[in-house]
Amino acid sequence: MEPLRFHDNDVSHAPAPGWYPSTIVTACWRQSTRDNRMVYLVHALEGVPATFSRISDCFVLEGASPQGLAYARKRLVAVFRACGSDPQTGDEICPAVLSNACLEVKVAHESWKNTVRLQVVGYRVHSDLPVKVGDPDAGTPPCAGVQGGGGSRG
């Protein structure tokens, strides 16, 4: 039996901080560790080693400090705008419409448990793809009828 060996991706360094094309591959409601509702996104980055190609992005929308909630909501609006949407006061927050949306994300290095991992710190419109979220021609689902798509929970 041949011994197993480490591959290049196993020992690769984190990509440089900066802007990378991204596709949102997961967009849904989840519960935070303190049982509060949050929007959970997973970005699939292009042009980075496989070990760094997925980054989660969480937006806790209940139970945090007023400053923390305001910051999470401001970041979430930035994501929707980078995906071509223009959220307005009173609009329902519907993560599902972000599924498969393309944008560019700015990543930074974050130290965690003696390793470097990537953290999303900014969002902008993808320079080559002017597709709007919720566009039926783009294949993104509308919010209506999506389970967990917001609203009140009794």
Residue type at 45? L
pLDDT band, residue 153 (cuts 50/70/90)? very low
pTM here?
A: 0.79
Structure tokens at 102: 């393309």
- Confidence (pLDDT) at 129: 57
Q: pLDDT grade, residue 151 (50/70/90)? A: very low
Query: Which tokens hold the place of 86?
Result: 């223009």
Has residue 116 got a pLDDT over 50? yes
Residue type, 48: V
Residue boundaries of the structural domains of the chain: 17-130
Whether the predicted pLDDT of 152 surpasses 70? no
- Partnered with residue 26 across adjacent β-strands are 42
Question: Is the pLDDT assigned to residue 75 strictly greater than 60?
Answer: yes
Give the pair of three-digit tokens for residue 92.
Answer: 């329902």
| d(C-alpha 48, C-alpha 113), whole Å | 21
pLDDT of 21-67, one tens digit each? 999 999 999 999 999 999 999 999 999 988 899 999 999 999 999 99
Question: 147 pLDDT band (50/70/90 cuts)?
Answer: very low
Tell me which CATH code domain 17-130 carries: 2.40.50
Percent of the chain topping pLDDT 70: 82
| Token output for 30 | 């989840």
